Protein backbone atom coordinates (compact mmCIF):
# COMPACT_ATOMS: atom_id res chain seq x y z
CA UNK A 1 0.00 0.00 0.00
CA UNK A 2 1.41 3.35 -1.03
CA UNK A 3 0.81 5.95 1.62
CA UNK A 4 1.06 9.38 0.13
CA UNK A 5 0.91 12.03 2.76
CA UNK A 6 -0.07 15.51 1.80
CA UNK A 7 -0.47 18.43 4.14
CA UNK A 8 -0.03 22.16 3.89
CA UNK A 9 1.87 22.10 0.58
CA UNK A 10 4.24 19.42 1.82
CA UNK A 11 3.95 15.86 0.68
CA UNK A 12 6.03 12.76 0.92
CA UNK A 13 5.93 9.21 -0.25
CA UNK A 14 7.09 6.81 2.47
CA UNK A 15 8.85 4.51 -0.03
CA UNK A 16 10.82 7.37 -1.51
CA UNK A 17 11.55 8.66 1.96
CA UNK A 18 12.96 5.31 3.05
CA UNK A 19 15.74 5.72 0.49
CA UNK A 20 17.02 8.59 2.61
CA UNK A 21 17.76 6.08 5.40
CA UNK A 22 20.64 3.83 4.24
CA UNK A 23 20.54 1.65 7.36
CA UNK A 24 17.04 0.40 6.58
CA UNK A 25 18.22 -1.28 3.40
CA UNK A 26 19.79 -4.38 4.90
CA UNK A 27 19.09 -7.99 5.80
CA UNK A 28 19.10 -9.19 9.39
CA UNK A 29 19.23 -12.95 9.89
CA UNK A 30 18.54 -13.38 6.19
CA UNK A 31 15.38 -11.22 6.20
CA UNK A 32 14.86 -7.57 5.25
CA UNK A 33 15.15 -5.46 8.39
CA UNK A 34 11.98 -4.18 10.04
CA UNK A 35 13.03 -1.53 12.54
CA UNK A 36 10.36 -1.08 15.20
CA UNK A 37 12.58 0.14 18.05
CA UNK A 38 12.27 3.82 17.28
CA UNK A 39 11.37 4.89 20.81
CA UNK A 40 14.81 3.69 21.90
CA UNK A 41 16.52 5.56 19.07
CA UNK A 42 15.45 6.26 15.53
CA UNK A 43 17.50 5.96 12.33
CA UNK A 44 19.27 8.85 10.65
CA UNK A 45 18.63 10.31 7.22
CA UNK A 46 21.55 10.83 4.83
CA UNK A 47 21.34 14.59 5.33
CA UNK A 48 22.20 14.14 9.01
CA UNK A 49 24.94 11.57 8.35
CA UNK A 50 26.44 13.84 5.69
CA UNK A 51 26.32 16.88 7.95
CA UNK A 52 28.54 15.12 10.51
CA UNK A 53 31.01 14.22 7.80
CA UNK A 54 30.89 17.68 6.27
CA UNK A 55 31.50 19.29 9.65
CA UNK A 56 34.71 17.30 10.15
CA UNK A 57 35.76 17.69 6.54
CA UNK A 58 35.33 21.45 6.39
CA UNK A 59 34.97 23.44 9.62
CA UNK A 60 36.07 21.32 12.57
CA UNK A 61 37.55 23.67 15.15
CA UNK A 62 36.88 24.65 18.75
CA UNK A 63 34.05 27.11 19.33
CA UNK A 64 33.94 30.55 20.95
CA UNK A 65 37.67 30.67 21.58
CA UNK A 66 39.60 31.42 18.43
CA UNK A 67 39.77 34.44 16.23
CA UNK A 68 40.80 32.29 13.28
CA UNK A 69 38.36 31.67 10.44
CA UNK A 70 37.66 28.00 11.10
CA UNK A 71 36.85 28.67 14.73
CA UNK A 72 34.51 31.44 13.66
CA UNK A 73 32.81 29.10 11.18
CA UNK A 74 32.42 26.34 13.75
CA UNK A 75 31.05 28.84 16.27
CA UNK A 76 28.60 30.20 13.74
CA UNK A 77 27.37 26.70 12.84
CA UNK A 78 27.05 25.78 16.53
CA UNK A 79 25.14 28.95 17.39
CA UNK A 80 22.94 28.63 14.27
CA UNK A 81 21.99 25.24 15.55
CA UNK A 82 20.98 26.70 18.90
CA UNK A 83 18.80 29.17 17.02
CA UNK A 84 17.27 26.32 15.01
CA UNK A 85 16.40 24.49 18.24
CA UNK A 86 14.89 27.70 19.64
CA UNK A 87 12.65 27.96 16.59
CA UNK A 88 11.80 24.24 16.71
CA UNK A 89 10.35 24.54 20.22
CA UNK A 90 9.23 28.19 19.87
CA UNK A 91 11.34 29.46 22.78
CA UNK A 92 11.69 33.22 23.27
CA UNK A 93 15.46 33.40 23.20
CA UNK A 94 18.33 31.14 22.18
CA UNK A 95 19.99 31.90 25.54
CA UNK A 96 17.29 29.62 27.02
CA UNK A 97 18.62 26.63 25.04
CA UNK A 98 21.40 24.66 26.72
CA UNK A 99 23.15 21.92 24.78
CA UNK A 100 23.49 18.76 26.86
CA UNK A 101 24.14 15.09 26.11
CA UNK A 102 20.46 14.19 26.13
CA UNK A 103 17.30 14.17 28.19
CA UNK A 104 18.94 12.27 31.05
CA UNK A 105 21.62 14.89 31.45
CA UNK A 106 19.03 17.68 31.23
CA UNK A 107 17.00 16.21 34.10
CA UNK A 108 20.16 15.67 36.15
CA UNK A 109 21.20 19.25 35.47
CA UNK A 110 17.88 20.59 36.72
CA UNK A 111 17.82 18.31 39.77
CA UNK A 112 21.36 19.06 40.84
CA UNK A 113 21.26 22.82 40.24
CA UNK A 114 17.70 24.07 40.71
CA UNK A 115 16.85 21.14 42.96
CA UNK A 116 19.91 21.32 45.21
CA UNK A 117 19.48 25.08 45.55
CA UNK A 118 15.75 25.39 46.09
CA UNK A 119 14.36 22.10 47.43
CA UNK A 120 14.38 21.83 51.22
CA UNK A 121 13.43 19.39 53.94
CA UNK A 122 9.70 18.66 53.96
CA UNK A 123 9.13 19.96 50.41
CA UNK A 124 7.30 17.82 47.87
CA UNK A 125 8.16 17.00 44.27
CA UNK A 126 5.58 15.42 41.97
CA UNK A 127 6.30 13.10 39.06
CA UNK A 128 3.96 10.64 37.39
CA UNK A 129 3.73 6.87 37.78
CA UNK A 130 4.80 6.44 34.13
CA UNK A 131 8.18 8.19 34.22
CA UNK A 132 11.25 6.89 32.44
CA UNK A 133 13.99 6.14 35.00
CA UNK A 134 15.78 9.26 33.73
CA UNK A 135 12.95 11.43 35.02
CA UNK A 136 12.50 9.47 38.21
CA UNK A 137 15.86 8.54 39.71
CA UNK A 138 17.34 12.09 39.74
CA UNK A 139 14.28 13.29 41.70
CA UNK A 140 14.38 10.23 43.96
CA UNK A 141 18.01 11.00 44.71
CA UNK A 142 17.35 14.69 45.30
CA UNK A 143 14.38 14.13 47.60
CA UNK A 144 16.25 11.53 49.62
CA UNK A 145 19.27 13.84 50.02
CA UNK A 146 17.07 16.77 50.98
CA UNK A 147 14.63 14.81 53.17
CA UNK A 148 11.88 15.92 50.84
CA UNK A 149 9.00 13.80 49.55
CA UNK A 150 8.53 12.36 46.06
CA UNK A 151 4.89 11.85 45.06
CA UNK A 152 3.40 10.12 42.03
CA UNK A 153 0.43 11.06 39.88
CA UNK A 154 -1.50 7.79 39.57
CA UNK A 155 -2.55 6.34 36.24
CA UNK A 156 -5.63 4.47 35.08
CA UNK A 157 -5.51 0.93 33.71
CA UNK A 158 -5.67 2.48 30.24
CA UNK A 159 -2.47 4.39 30.93
CA UNK A 160 -3.85 7.89 31.45
CA UNK A 161 -2.99 10.24 34.29
CA UNK A 162 -5.72 10.61 36.91
CA UNK A 163 -5.97 14.37 36.62
CA UNK A 164 -8.42 14.92 39.51
CA UNK A 165 -6.01 13.10 41.77
CA UNK A 166 -3.16 15.21 40.45
CA UNK A 167 -5.01 18.44 41.18
CA UNK A 168 -5.78 17.29 44.70
CA UNK A 169 -2.03 16.69 45.28
CA UNK A 170 -1.24 20.37 44.73
CA UNK A 171 -0.55 22.49 47.79
CA UNK A 172 2.06 24.97 49.02
CA UNK A 173 4.47 22.17 50.02
CA UNK A 174 4.88 21.13 46.37
CA UNK A 175 7.97 22.88 45.04
CA UNK A 176 8.57 21.17 41.68
CA UNK A 177 6.76 18.96 39.16
CA UNK A 178 8.38 16.90 36.44
CA UNK A 179 6.28 14.89 33.99
CA UNK A 180 6.73 13.04 30.77
CA UNK A 181 5.00 14.54 27.72
CA UNK A 182 4.70 11.20 25.88
CA UNK A 183 5.24 7.88 27.64
CA UNK A 184 7.94 5.75 26.02
CA UNK A 185 6.19 2.58 27.24
CA UNK A 186 2.48 3.35 26.85
CA UNK A 187 2.55 5.97 24.10
CA UNK A 188 0.20 8.16 26.15
CA UNK A 189 0.31 11.85 25.29
CA UNK A 190 -0.18 13.52 28.64
CA UNK A 191 -2.24 16.70 29.10
CA UNK A 192 0.86 18.69 30.02
CA UNK A 193 -0.69 22.07 29.32
CA UNK A 194 -3.39 21.39 31.89
CA UNK A 195 -0.76 20.16 34.37
CA UNK A 196 1.33 23.28 33.90
CA UNK A 197 -1.56 25.65 34.27
CA UNK A 198 -2.79 23.91 37.45
CA UNK A 199 0.78 23.95 38.85
CA UNK A 200 1.24 27.62 38.05
CA UNK A 201 -1.79 28.54 40.11
CA UNK A 202 0.41 27.44 43.06
CA UNK A 203 3.57 28.99 41.50
CA UNK A 204 5.11 25.55 41.06
CA UNK A 205 7.64 25.25 38.21
CA UNK A 206 7.13 22.35 35.79
CA UNK A 207 9.71 20.31 33.89
CA UNK A 208 8.53 18.48 30.77
CA UNK A 209 10.40 15.37 29.62
CA UNK A 210 9.82 15.66 25.87
CA UNK A 211 12.15 12.81 24.83
CA UNK A 212 9.29 10.98 23.10
CA UNK A 213 7.49 14.10 21.96
CA UNK A 214 10.12 15.82 19.82
CA UNK A 215 10.00 13.41 16.84
CA UNK A 216 6.20 13.22 16.79
CA UNK A 217 4.40 16.34 17.95
CA UNK A 218 4.97 20.07 17.71
CA UNK A 219 6.48 21.40 20.92
CA UNK A 220 5.68 25.02 21.72
CA UNK A 221 7.21 26.00 25.04
CA UNK A 222 5.56 29.42 25.00
CA UNK A 223 2.12 28.00 24.43
CA UNK A 224 2.66 25.26 27.02
CA UNK A 225 4.24 27.82 29.34
CA UNK A 226 6.50 25.07 30.74
CA UNK A 227 9.42 26.22 32.87
CA UNK A 228 11.84 23.48 31.79
CA UNK A 229 11.78 21.02 28.89
CA UNK A 230 14.25 18.51 27.50
CA UNK A 231 14.64 16.29 24.46
CA UNK A 232 17.34 14.06 22.94
CA UNK A 233 18.84 14.42 19.47
CA UNK A 234 19.06 10.69 18.84
CA UNK A 235 15.29 10.22 19.19
CA UNK A 236 14.74 13.16 16.82
CA UNK A 237 16.55 11.74 13.73
CA UNK A 238 19.78 13.31 15.02
CA UNK A 239 22.97 11.84 16.48
CA UNK A 240 23.61 10.41 19.93
CA UNK A 241 25.38 12.48 22.58
CA UNK A 242 23.44 15.70 21.99
CA UNK A 243 20.18 17.01 23.37
CA UNK A 244 18.80 20.16 24.84
CA UNK A 245 17.53 21.61 28.06
CA UNK A 246 15.18 24.52 27.66
CA UNK A 247 14.47 26.64 30.73
CA UNK A 248 12.95 30.06 31.23
CA UNK A 249 15.64 32.66 31.61
CA UNK A 250 14.41 33.62 35.06
CA UNK A 251 15.19 30.11 36.31
CA UNK A 252 18.51 29.78 34.49
CA UNK A 253 19.59 33.05 36.07
CA UNK A 254 18.78 31.76 39.54
CA UNK A 255 20.43 28.36 39.10
CA UNK A 256 24.06 27.72 40.01
CA UNK A 257 26.27 26.16 37.28
CA UNK A 258 26.14 22.40 36.77
CA UNK A 259 29.79 21.76 35.89
CA UNK A 260 32.81 23.99 36.10
CA UNK A 261 35.58 24.86 33.65
CA UNK A 262 36.00 26.02 30.06
CA UNK A 263 33.17 27.85 28.38
CA UNK A 264 31.17 28.57 31.53
CA UNK A 265 33.77 31.07 32.75
CA UNK A 266 33.85 34.80 32.10
CA UNK A 267 36.72 35.82 34.37
CA UNK A 268 38.89 33.82 36.67
CA UNK A 269 41.61 34.62 39.20
CA UNK A 270 43.38 32.23 41.56
CA UNK A 271 40.79 33.10 44.17
CA UNK A 272 37.55 33.68 42.34
CA UNK A 273 35.53 32.93 39.22
CA UNK A 274 32.90 35.00 37.48
CA UNK A 275 30.53 32.79 35.52
CA UNK A 276 29.67 33.37 31.89
CA UNK A 277 26.33 34.66 30.58
CA UNK A 278 23.53 32.37 29.48
CA UNK A 279 23.53 29.89 27.91
CA UNK A 280 27.30 29.36 28.29
CA UNK A 281 27.10 29.30 32.09
CA UNK A 282 25.73 25.75 31.70
CA UNK A 283 28.07 24.54 28.95
CA UNK A 284 31.37 23.70 30.63
CA UNK A 285 34.22 22.33 28.50
CA UNK A 286 34.30 21.71 24.77
CA UNK A 287 30.75 20.89 23.71
CA UNK A 288 29.56 18.29 21.21
CA UNK A 289 29.91 20.67 18.27
CA UNK A 290 29.35 18.19 15.44
CA UNK A 291 26.39 16.79 17.39
CA UNK A 292 24.78 20.21 17.68
CA UNK A 293 25.44 21.02 14.03
CA UNK A 294 23.91 17.76 12.83
CA UNK A 295 20.96 18.16 15.21
CA UNK A 296 20.15 21.24 13.13
CA UNK A 297 20.12 19.01 10.02
CA UNK A 298 17.77 16.61 11.82
CA UNK A 299 15.42 19.50 12.58
CA UNK A 300 15.61 20.54 8.92
CA UNK A 301 14.64 16.99 7.97
CA UNK A 302 11.61 17.09 10.28
CA UNK A 303 10.57 20.54 9.09
CA UNK A 304 10.88 19.50 5.48
CA UNK A 305 8.61 16.48 5.98
CA UNK A 306 6.28 18.36 8.32
CA UNK A 307 5.57 17.21 11.87
CA UNK A 308 1.85 17.05 11.07
CA UNK A 309 2.53 14.69 8.17
CA UNK A 310 4.78 12.58 10.33
CA UNK A 311 2.19 12.44 13.11
CA UNK A 312 -0.60 11.54 10.69
CA UNK A 313 1.44 8.79 9.08
CA UNK A 314 2.40 7.29 12.45
CA UNK A 315 -1.17 7.54 13.68
CA UNK A 316 -2.36 5.58 10.60
CA UNK A 317 0.27 2.94 11.36
CA UNK A 318 -0.81 2.83 15.00
CA UNK A 319 -4.46 2.21 14.12
CA UNK A 320 -3.59 -0.39 11.52
CA UNK A 321 -1.21 -2.22 13.85
CA UNK A 322 -3.60 -2.22 16.82
CA UNK A 323 -6.41 -3.59 14.68
CA UNK A 324 -4.26 -6.34 13.28
CA UNK A 325 -2.74 -7.19 16.65
CA UNK A 326 -6.18 -7.58 18.16
CA UNK A 327 -6.80 -10.42 15.68
CA UNK A 328 -4.29 -12.46 17.66
CA UNK A 329 -5.73 -14.58 20.43
CA UNK A 330 -4.30 -13.84 23.86
CA UNK A 331 -3.06 -10.38 22.80
CA UNK A 332 -2.95 -7.76 25.55
CA UNK A 333 -2.05 -4.22 24.61
CA UNK A 334 -0.78 -2.30 27.61
CA UNK A 335 -1.70 1.36 27.31
CA UNK A 336 -4.90 2.31 25.54
CA UNK A 337 -5.00 6.03 26.12
CA UNK A 338 -7.27 8.06 23.85
CA UNK A 339 -4.36 10.29 22.94
CA UNK A 340 -1.39 8.16 21.85
CA UNK A 341 1.67 8.25 19.64
CA UNK A 342 2.85 5.22 17.65
CA UNK A 343 4.03 3.13 20.58
CA UNK A 344 2.48 -0.25 21.38
CA UNK A 345 3.46 -2.31 24.40
CA UNK A 346 1.97 -5.77 24.58
CA UNK A 347 2.18 -9.27 25.94
CA UNK A 348 0.72 -12.44 24.52
CA UNK A 349 -0.83 -14.63 27.21
CA UNK A 350 1.51 -17.39 28.33
CA UNK A 351 4.50 -16.19 26.28
CA UNK A 352 7.44 -14.39 27.85
CA UNK A 353 8.22 -11.06 26.16
CA UNK A 354 11.86 -12.04 25.78
CA UNK A 355 10.92 -15.15 23.76
CA UNK A 356 8.68 -13.09 21.49
CA UNK A 357 11.51 -10.59 20.94
CA UNK A 358 14.08 -13.30 20.14
CA UNK A 359 11.89 -15.04 17.58
CA UNK A 360 11.03 -11.73 15.93
CA UNK A 361 14.73 -10.88 15.77
CA UNK A 362 15.36 -14.17 13.95
CA UNK A 363 12.87 -12.89 11.38
CA UNK A 364 14.71 -9.57 11.03
CA UNK A 365 12.21 -7.63 13.13
CA UNK A 366 13.73 -5.35 15.78
CA UNK A 367 11.47 -4.81 18.79
CA UNK A 368 12.26 -4.00 22.40
CA UNK A 369 11.48 -6.27 25.34
CA UNK A 370 11.63 -5.77 29.09
CA UNK A 371 10.89 -2.74 31.27
CA UNK A 372 11.82 -0.01 28.75
CA UNK A 373 13.46 1.93 31.61
CA UNK A 374 10.08 2.14 33.37
CA UNK A 375 10.46 -0.73 35.81
CA UNK A 376 8.11 0.64 38.50
CA UNK A 377 5.40 1.21 35.87
CA UNK A 378 5.62 -2.32 34.47
CA UNK A 379 6.31 -4.24 37.66
CA UNK A 380 4.49 -2.29 40.35
CA UNK A 381 1.65 -0.62 38.43
CA UNK A 382 0.88 -3.32 35.86
CA UNK A 383 2.32 -6.29 37.72
CA UNK A 384 4.02 -7.68 34.61
CA UNK A 385 7.43 -9.29 34.02
CA UNK A 386 8.01 -6.96 31.06
CA UNK A 387 6.37 -6.23 27.74
CA UNK A 388 7.26 -6.30 24.06
CA UNK A 389 7.25 -2.82 22.58
CA UNK A 390 7.00 -1.69 18.98
CA UNK A 391 7.34 1.97 18.13
CA UNK A 392 7.02 3.72 14.78
CA UNK A 393 8.91 6.37 12.90
CA UNK A 394 8.21 8.27 9.71
CA UNK A 395 9.79 5.56 7.52
CA UNK A 396 7.76 2.58 8.75
CA UNK A 397 5.17 0.97 6.48
CA UNK A 398 2.01 -1.09 6.58
CA UNK A 399 3.89 -3.97 4.91
CA UNK A 400 6.30 -4.00 7.84
CA UNK A 401 3.36 -4.30 10.22
CA UNK A 402 2.05 -7.22 8.16
CA UNK A 403 5.42 -8.93 8.46
CA UNK A 404 5.39 -8.30 12.18
CA UNK A 405 1.90 -9.85 12.48
CA UNK A 406 3.08 -12.89 10.50
CA UNK A 407 6.00 -13.04 12.95
CA UNK A 408 3.62 -13.02 15.92
CA UNK A 409 1.68 -15.92 14.41
CA UNK A 410 4.97 -17.84 14.17
CA UNK A 411 5.74 -16.97 17.80
CA UNK A 412 2.36 -18.37 18.83
CA UNK A 413 2.80 -21.50 16.79
CA UNK A 414 6.23 -22.17 18.26
CA UNK A 415 5.49 -21.31 21.89
CA UNK A 416 1.81 -21.84 22.66
N1 LIG B 1 12.64 10.13 28.94
C2 LIG B 1 11.97 9.34 28.11
C3 LIG B 1 10.48 9.40 28.06
C4 LIG B 1 12.67 8.46 27.28
O5 LIG B 1 11.99 7.66 26.45
C6 LIG B 1 14.07 8.43 27.35
C7 LIG B 1 14.83 7.44 26.53
O8 LIG B 1 14.34 6.41 26.18
C9 LIG B 1 14.73 9.30 28.22
C10 LIG B 1 13.98 10.13 29.01
C11 LIG B 1 16.21 9.32 28.30
O12 LIG B 1 16.74 9.81 27.12
P13 LIG B 1 18.31 9.74 26.83
O14 LIG B 1 18.70 8.31 27.02
O15 LIG B 1 18.43 10.18 25.42
O16 LIG B 1 18.97 10.64 27.79
The domain limits of the chain are 14-44+306-415, 49-303
DSSP summary character for residue 276: P
Q: How would CATH label the architecture of 49-303?
A: 3-Layer(aba) Sandwich (3.40)
pLDDT at residue 8, rounded to an integer: 46
373 is catalytic: yes
Question: How large is the average pLDDT for residues 354-363?
Answer: 98
CA of 210 to the centre of ligand 1 (A): 9
Q: Is the CB of 184 under 6 A from ligand 1?
A: yes
CA of 132 to the centre of ligand 1 (A): 7
Is 184 in contact with 216 (CB distance < 8 Å)?
A: no
Q: Is the pLDDT of residue 5 over 90?
A: no
Residue 327, classified by CB atoms within 10 Å of its CB into exposed (0-12), middle (13-18) or buried (19+), is exposed
Q: Is the peptide bond before 279 cis (omega within 30 degrees of 0)?
A: yes
Q: Is the pLDDT of residue 235 over 70?
A: yes
- Specify whether the CB–CB gap between 111 and 123 falls below 8 A: no
pLDDT in tens, 281-303: 999 999 999 999 999 999 999 99
The CATH number given to 14-44+306-415 is: 3.90.1150.10
Q: What's the mean pLDDT in 362-389?
A: 98
Are the C-beta atoms of 348 and 408 separated by less than 8 Å?
Answer: yes
Ligand 1 site, residue 104, Cβ cutoff 6 A: yes
Percent of the chain with pLDDT over 70: 97
CB 271 within 8 A of CB 242: no
For range 91-114, the mean pLDDT: 98
Asked whether residue 7 carries a pLDDT value surpassing 50, the answer given is no
pLDDT given at position 11 = 61
Atom of ligand 1 nearest to the CA of 235: 15
Q: What's the half-sphere exposure (Cβ side, CA atoms, 13 Å) at 6?
A: 3
Q: Tell me the CA–centroid distance for residue 224 and ligand 1, in Å.
A: 20
Question: Predicted confidence band at 2 (pLDDT cuts at 50, 70, 90)?
Answer: very low
pLDDT digits (tens, 9 = 90+) for 134-166: 999 999 999 999 999 999 999 999 999 999 999
Closest CA to 90 of 184, 232, 217, 243: 217
Name every residue whose Cβ is closer than 8 Å to that of residue 413 and which is 6 or more positions away in sequence.
none
Q: Which atom of ligand 1 is nearest to the CA of 103?
A: 16
Mutation to probe ligand 1, out of 38, 134, 238 (largest number of atoms < 8 A from CB)? 134
The pLDDT value given to residue 416: 79
Average pLDDT, the chain: 96
Amino acid sequence: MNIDIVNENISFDVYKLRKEFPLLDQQINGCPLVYFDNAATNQKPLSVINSIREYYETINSNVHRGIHTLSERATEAYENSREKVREFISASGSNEIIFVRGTTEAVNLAASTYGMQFINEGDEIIVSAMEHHSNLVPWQNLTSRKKALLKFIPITDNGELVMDEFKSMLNEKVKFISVVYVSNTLGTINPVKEIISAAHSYNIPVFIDAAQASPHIKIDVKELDCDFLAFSGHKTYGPTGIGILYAKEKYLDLMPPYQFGGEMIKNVSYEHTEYNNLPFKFEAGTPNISGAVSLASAIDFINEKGLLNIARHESDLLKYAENRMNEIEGMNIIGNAKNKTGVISFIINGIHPYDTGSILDNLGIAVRTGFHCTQPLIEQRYNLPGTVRISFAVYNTVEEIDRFIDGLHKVKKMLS
